[in-house]
Structure formats: C-alpha cells, structure tokens
Amino acid sequence: MRHTLPIAPQFYVTAPQPCPYLPGQSERKLFTSLAGDGARALNDTLSKQGFRRSQNVLYRPACSDCAACLSARIRVADHAPSRSQRKVIRRNAGLKREATSPWATEEQYDLFRRYLDARHADGGMADMDIFEFAAMIEETPIRSRVIEYSESLAPEEDGTGRGARRLVAVCLTDVLDDGLSLVYSFFEPGRTGDSLGTYMILDHVELAREVGLPYVYLGYWVPGSDKMAYKARFGALEVFQDGVWRELGDAASYGEAPHPLAVRPITEQVAAITLPAAKPAPGKPG
C-alpha cells in the first residue's frame, strides 16, 4: 500500500503482524526510504515527529486500532539522575567510553550474540548473522556513531601485559540536529547488577550535554509493556502524542490502547507529516 505526499518522499505501510509489546494486538508500520542528499534533513525532521531509523529506512507505528507506542525523549537540560541512577553511574565509573565510526567488528558481534541468546532468544533478531549485523551497523546514510564501553582486564586475565580491555556494552547512535538518538544497544548479559542499559542512557545524556544537544531520543515507550517500562523511570521525559511533544507526567495514567475510533486513518497521518524545507534550485536565490 503506497501513500504519496505532494513532494517526495513516498510512504508505505507494512502488512499487520503480531505486536511484540502488547499481547493480542497487531502492529503495522508507516515507513519511507532514507537516501540521497536530503537523507540527513529528512531524518532530523521526521525524528521530531516520532519516526525512528533502521538502516536506510525511517518508520513509525501506524496501527489501525491502537496508538499505544509513543516516541520518547529526555530533555537534557532538565534531567537529573534519581538516587538509584546515581548508584548506576558510580557502579560503572570504571568503564571507558569510545565513539567510533559505524564499523562492525567481530568483538561487537560476539557480544551482540551473547546478549541476544540470553535476553531475546525468541525475538525477531535472534537469527541475525554477522553479515546482517554489519549491515545494521554500517548501512547508515546519516551521521552515526558506535559508542563502545569497555573495562580494563584484571592482571590475571590480561596475558599481553599491555593493559588490554574487554568490550562490555555498545550503542549505535545517530547524531541529529537537536539530539542523540539511541538506535540500538546491547551489553554483556551476565552483568545484570550493573544496569548497563540504564547506564548507557545516562551517559548519552551527559554526552549530549557536553556537546550542547537538547535531547536524547530513546525510541518508543509503550504503556502496558513490561519490557519498555524502564524508559518511564528517566526524569524530564517527553512523549510524542497527537502531533506534539509533551511532558510524560504520571505514567500510570496512560492506557494501553485507545478506542479504535480515536486512531486517525493512515491517509490523515501521512497528510499531517511535515517535511524538510525544499532547497532552492541551482542558480535561483534562496
């Protein structure tokens, strides 16, 4: 099914599939390709409207009878870690952060496989091989970074004597014009007490603050989904709902799914999308 705005890009809708977040629900996505000279501007603009990137595709939930998925972002200037989050920061203070170009490595993939096998063995990515993993990391038409977190090996573990390090967490991060967007993250599954997923978000808040970016985009928060509940624990959290960003407020006040008639038809959703301003033609004044 294809829907077209007055100017490019074109938007498509996926066929319904079982929802990975809410039992008994089905999901479908509105998506468009991300390529060419305007890819970065399109990604910046649509990210502000609840879209997410996966390789060279931008997508947003567009379910026919549910609007539970809400894009979430942290307002960096107003965020203050909670008491438990400050403990997470202290617990992981020995980790070294390194931002690299989006290039996949065998060490990353080995960590990725351990994470999937322990946390998401029955998920949609469970069978991803190293080539598909490399595509996830490397196929990006915009400004992306791989943020790696590593720890020093203990003397008895380091056979080199040169202070070797062990990779414990990774986040594929997009750099938007107004923030950092966490595309996908994974970590050492055996370190359950270290809350590495939470730590990476907190560290991205600090990283955004260091470079003067106002937001950290977390993907979708889904009321009623246990696997997404952790996002509501961050302060200064905003969600994109009914076309605007608003303070999350009381997370318990959000229903799992609205009445079906409250969901706008897909054509109305597409018509409401704002696109980047068109560049002036060569030779013409801007």
Token representation of residue 47: 């990210």
Helical pair 106-119 and 130-138, crossing angle rounded to 10 deg: 110
Residues 79 and 6 in one domain: no
Over residues 132-153, mean pLDDT: 95
- Please count the structural domains in the chain: 2
**Do 160 and 219 fall into the same domain?**
yes
Considering the entire predicted model, what is its pTM?
Answer: 0.90
Residue 277 falls inside a structural domain: no
Residues 233 and 266 in one domain: no
Q: Which pLDDT score is estimated for 265?
A: 86
Examine the domain organization and report whether 254 and 201 are in the same domain.
no
Sheet containing strand 144-152, strands side by side: 96-100, 144-152, 165-175, 179-187, 215-221, 70-75, 237-241, 244-247
Angle between the N-to-C axes of helices 83-91 and 196-211, in degrees from 0 to 180, rounded to the nearest 10: 90
Q: How confident is the model at residue 6 (pLDDT cuts 50, 70, 90)?
A: very low
Is position 278 within any domain? no
Provide the pLDDT confidence category of residue 261 given band limits of 50, 70 and 90: low
Residue 7 pLDDT > 80: no
pLDDT tens, position by position, 20-69: 888 888 899 999 999 888 999 999 999 999 999 999 999 999 988 888 89
In a domain, 121, yes or no: yes
What domain range includes position 55? 2-69+250-271
Strands 179-187 and 215-221: parallel
What pLDDT is stored for residue 102 in this prediction?
96
Nearest-angstrom CA–CA distance, 187 and 171:
9
Is residue 222 located within the same domain as residue 103? Answer: yes
Place of tokens 């091989």: 129
Q: Are both 202 and 65 inside the same structural domain?
A: no
Furthest C-alpha separation in the chain: 67
Same structural domain for residues 136 and 28? no
pLDDT at 8 over 80: no
Whether 44 maps to a domain, the answer reads: yes
Give the Cα separation of 11 and 2 in Å (integer).
6
Give CA separation, 193 vs 87, 151, 186, 198, in Å.
11, 16, 15, 11
- Asked whether residue 283 is domain-assigned, the answer is no
pLDDT digits (tens, 9 = 90+) for 147-192: 999 998 876 565 545 468 899 999 999 999 999 999 999 999 999 8
Higher pLDDT, 191 or 121: 191
Please check whether residues 97 and 143 belong to one and the same domain.
yes
| Residues 122, 207 within the same domain | yes
Q: Is 154 exposed, middle or buried (0-12, 13-18, 19+ CB in 10 A)?
A: exposed
163-183: b (≥16 Cβ within 10 Å) or e = eebebbbbbbbbbbeebbbbb
Number of CB atoms found within 10 A of residue 98's CB: 12
Domain membership of residue 242 (yes or no) is: yes
Model confidence pLDDT, tens digit, residues 75-98: 999 999 999 999 999 999 999 999
Q: In this predicted structure, what is the pLDDT of residue 169?
A: 98
Does a structural domain hold residue 175?
yes
Q: Answer whether residue 5 shows pLDDT above 50.
A: no
CATH number of the domain residue 129 falls in: 3.40.630.30
Average pLDDT over residues 222-240: 93
Specify whether 211 is located in the same domain as 254: no
Residues 8 and 78 in one domain: no
Same domain, 202 and 150: yes
Tell me whether residue 120 is in a domain. Answer: yes
